[in-house]
Homo-oligomer: A and B are copies of this chain.
Amino acid sequence: MGKVVSALSMSLDGFVADEHDGVAELIGWYQNGDVEITSADPRWTFHVTEASAVFLRAALAGVGALICGRRLFDLTNGWNGRHPAGCSIFVVSHSLPTGWPRDDVPVTFYPDAMAALDAAQAEAGDKTVAVSTPTITRQYLDAGLLDELTVSLVPVLLGEGTRFFGSLTVAPIRLTGPEVIEGRGVTHLTYRVLR
């Protein structure tokens, strides 16, 4: 079975979005270099540094399924059914959004995070299950189900917003690593979760 990995861009003070759900301060590194990286969605092409290209290519290629929460689904309109990593999308949501599910795109809905994980792992096989929502990350951390954390640490203090890590039930959680990739305007840090 593949790894379960939560990967997000985070400010030095721990936020993955500002208080208006904005991420502009955090995603500059996707477009601050000369290396073009295409994605599974023709609308999304990244231009990153050599260092971040190593990180991003591996991340995009390794993902076999993506889990997100309803809020992120709504903010991205479900990536219109086509995530840049080219994988199926597993949404944790108590209700079905209007117009979903659709027959033409691989987006499915689950009432809780554990059901979504079961389905995502079945789909991903040996590839990585990527988790893109902080609250779901915390549920998997609390349940001992998360293998890795990848923090793309951005040199900014946002002061307020949505935290990557908050309200952990089980703590401390010890990690090993990180593997460090130094990009421009970002430091990619990959940790393994100790059980």
Contacts and interface: CB of A to CB of B under 8 A. Distances in A.
Interface of A: 11-14, 18, 25, 141, 149, 151, 153, 155-160, 163-178, 180, 182, 187, 189, 191
A92 B106 CA distance: 58
A96 to B, nearest CB: 33
Per CB-CB distance, the 9 closest pairs between chain A and chain B, nearest first, are A159-B171, A13-B165, A159-B168, A155-B175, A14-B14, A157-B173, A156-B172, A156-B174, A158-B172
A25 B157 contact: no
Nearest to A185: B176
B172 A25 contact: yes
Tally of this chain's copies: 2
Contacts of A175: 12, 155-157
Contacts of A157: 141, 165, 168, 171-173, 175
Question: Which of A14, A167, A169 has its CB near the most chain B CB atoms (within 10 A)?
Answer: A14
Given A180-B180, A187-B189, A160 B155 contact: no
A191 B164 CA distance: 21
Contacts of A18: 172
Contact of A187 (B158, B168, B178): B178
Nearest to A173: B157
A82 to B, nearest CB: 31
B12 A191 contact: yes
Nearest to A165: B13
A165 B161 CA distance: 13
Contacts of A153: 189
Contact of A155 (B170, B171, B174): B174
A133 B167 CA distance: 24
